[in-house]
Amino acid sequence: MPDPHPVDLEPLKKEAALRAVALIQSGMRVGLGTGSTARYAILEIGRRVQNGELTGIVGVATSEASDVLAREAGLTVEDLDPRPLDIAIDGADEIAPNLDLIKGLGGALLREKLTEIQARRLIIIADHSKIVSQIGEKSPLPIEIARFGFLSTVERLRQIVPGGRLRQPGAQPYVTDNGNYIYDAQLALDGDIAALERQLKGTLGVVETGLFLGMAERAFVASTDGVRELSR
């Protein structure tokens, strides 16, 4: 039965985003996440830049959509290069107690991982619905796969994570910003997540997984009781 009093998650996402953006200082190079929660962070950074509270900010976007949004918000956006980022702020699909994450339901996992691995601090922002006790509890694990030979890659993945399917919202598979496809895997609970990550990364045709293990430093998680700060 549908919840007769559903909580509006949007103000919670925004609250979490504002807490994270408060960590940004003038002159920082900032990784800009993707998704409905990261959107609030990008808009708030833009607002602070526009009103002069923050100067010299350079954003590095984790998707085409965030790139467009950031430029519209008045931010300077540069491509990722080998220099470190001072901070990155992004949402997540699942947050485990040790801050291991599933990301990529929005399809941006590859650029997110490439960008956020270079951040001195990865700060996660979310509403309380993203908290899990074990990875795989609520969300499928998005796995980006090469388009060429994708049916073979899907078969290989089915040997490792039997539950799962190619992401196909309509007649055609979903295509990422990088021109690849996504396989959404249902994970078995209680598995060795680090071993699974190694196995998936060693599978021919897999470009990247949405497992972000040991990367996040802190998470701001908002509920109707306020914003909780979680650290590793």
Ligand X SMILES: O=C[C@H](O)[C@H](O)[C@H](O)COP(=O)(O)O
Binding residues for ligand X, rule: CB under 6 A, are 33-38, 90-93, 103-109, 112
Rounded Cα distance between 126 and 15, Å, is 9
Q: Which is nearer to ligand X, 14 or 103 (CB)?
A: 103
CA distances from 138 to 116, 131, 135, 167, 219 (A): 23, 9, 8, 17, 18
Compute the least distance from the CB of residue 120 to ligand X, in Å: 19
Closest to 39 (Cα-Cα) out of 78, 77, 91: 91
116 is catalytic: no
Compute the least distance from the CB of residue 128 to ligand X, in Å: 12
Rounded Cα distance between 49 and 117, Å, is 25
Q: Which is nearer to ligand X, 30 or 51 (CB)?
A: 30
Closest to 216 (Cα-Cα) out of 26, 89, 28, 105: 89
Q: Which is nearer to ligand X, 52 or 169 (CB)?
A: 169
Compute the least distance from the CB of residue 107 to ligand X, in Å: 5
Interior CA angle at 175 toward 131 and 111, to 5°? Answer: 55
Out of 112, 116, 144, 208, the active site residue is: 112
Catalytic residues: 112
